[in-house]
Structures are given as C-alpha cells and as structure tokens.
Amino acid sequence: MSLGVTLACMLALASSPAARADGDPASDYLYGQAAYFPYQPAITAADQGKIGKALADGRSHGYQLKVAIIASPVDLGSVPEMFGKPQAYADFLDREILAFHRGDLLVVMPGGFGVAGPNAAKAKKALQGAQTASAAPGPLGKAAIDGIIRVAKAAGHPIKTQSSSGTGPDKSGGGGAWIAIVIAAGAVLAVAGALGARRRSGTGEEAA
C-alpha cells in the first residue's frame, strides 16, 4: 500500500463514526456496519462470518436488522451501568441510531436479549426460551446467530440457518475490523516516517 493510500485511509477513519467513538461504541459502529462485535472476549471468526451472512441474507429479502453483541461493560462506553440489562440498552441504543436506522435492533448480552424496532413485540415472543449462558465467545456468538434467525422469522423474513463450517468475519462487521485497519495504517506510517528520517540523515552526512 502506498503512503498516499494509507493517508487517505487514515483521513477516512478520522471522519468516520467509528473514529469518533463517543458515548457507547455500538452506536458509532452501527452507523455503517450491520453488527457490533465485542472487543474482549472476541467472537470467533467463524461465528462472525455466520452472523454477517445471516444479516446479509435478511437484507437481500428486504429485512433491515442491526445487532450489537455486548460481552462486558467495556462495550458500553459511557453507559456501563446498562450491562446485564439487555432490554434497557436496546431501547437506549435504538434511540441513538434512529436517525439512520428505522429497522429492528437485536442486543445480545450474557444472560439475555434486548430488542427494539417495528417488530419488537413479535421478536420478544420469538426469543422466549432462548438464553445466552455466558460471556464466552462460543455461547455469545451462537446465541446471536440463534437470535437473528428467531427475530427475522418473527418479522416475516425467515433466513437460512447457517452451517457449522462458517468462514471468515463479515467484512461489514464491527469493532475488530476497524482496530486492525488502524493498527495496519499506523504501522505503515511509522515505517514511512523511519525511512524519511533515514534519508534526511543520509543527506546530512553527505553534505558534511
């Protein structure tokens, strides 16, 4: 990647909702992403891929659903007190993203789900009996997939059940992808800076 392309990426990140990261992170990431994935513990790549495919399948049939997977209070930013209260946070997050999303919202937390949006009443009934046992990546990821399938079906948009094989993470997904981009761009800029300093040093020695 050239230095010019890297700088362009950095400028795009600086102007993106993810880069602003004020308040709760999910409200920023969901501006341009279908799902927010927690920082730690991270959802497995296979489950991220299944979640991305499930959401894409729903969109292809006209169903707009965004998902926020919250594994710890860290994922709630300025509202950590909402951890363990998935429905309260779903209502809060729904208001945060209302300006750019009028579809359904699913929040997945250890121990439960929260839903908001036009089909919230149907979704709540569909999620009865579904549980998220812990904050471990496996249970949370699988619970999110199950929740997406239940909520979409309740809204009248059944989607394909994802196979256990899975693939890589959804490229339109959440937090981890942005962090990787920032780290990579920073590394390239650091290398470019070091090379520039070396050239300047060499020029100075020749002049002397």
pLDDT tens digits for range 128-171: 888 675 666 678 999 999 999 999 999 999 987 654 333 333 33
Q: Which whole number is the average pLDDT over 52-81?
A: 95
pLDDT for the residue numbered 139:
87
Q: Which residue has the higher pLDDT, 56 or 180?
A: 56
* pLDDT beyond 80 at 99: yes
DSSP the chain: --HHHHHHHHHHHHHSHHHH--S-HHHHHTTT-SEE--SSSPPPHHHHHHHHHHHHHHHHTT--EEEEE--SGGGGTT-GGGTT-HHHHHHHHHHHHTTT--SEEEEEETTEEEEESTTHHHHHHHTTT-----SSHHHHHHHHHHHHHHHHHHTT---PPPPSS--S--TT--HHHHHHHHHHHHHHHHHHHHHHHHHHHHHHHHH-
* pLDDT beyond 50 at 208: no
* pLDDT beyond 80 at 28: yes
Highest mean pLDDT among 38-42, 52-56, 167-171, 178-182: 52-56
- pTM score of the predicted model: 0.68
